[in-house]
Amino acid sequence: MRARWKLLGLAGVAGVAATGAVIARRRREHGEYTPEELREKLHRRLADASPNGDGPAAASASSGTTAG
């Protein structure tokens, strides 16, 4: 009975270690961006996602509402 608890404990520790390794690897893959780089990247993605490429400002200006 005692051996089962030891195996269960070791399996739990191995699971926690594996999860930590996966999280650390995913975190390393993400590069650190300066605020300017991040802003440029987000603006580019917003322009690509907008149907007319102008972003939400063009849609709110045409409807007479303000963003925010």
Taking the chain (68 residues) in consecutive chunks of 10 residues, what is each chunk's mean pLDDT? 88 91 76 86 89 59 52
Say what the pLDDT of residue 62 is: 53
The whole-number pLDDT of residue 55 equals: 56
Q: Residue 25 belongs to what domain range? A: 19-46
Query: Is residue 24 situated within a structural domain?
Result: yes
Q: What is the pLDDT of residue 64?
A: 54
In whole angstroms, give the CA distance from residue 59 to residue 49: 13
Judge whether 30 lies within some domain.
yes
pLDDT for res 1? 76
The two structure tokens encoding residue 43: 């603006």
pLDDT reported for residue 68: 46
Rounded-to-integer distance, Cα 21 and Cα 23, Å: 5
Work out how many domains the chain is built from and give that number: 1
In a domain, 39, yes or no: yes
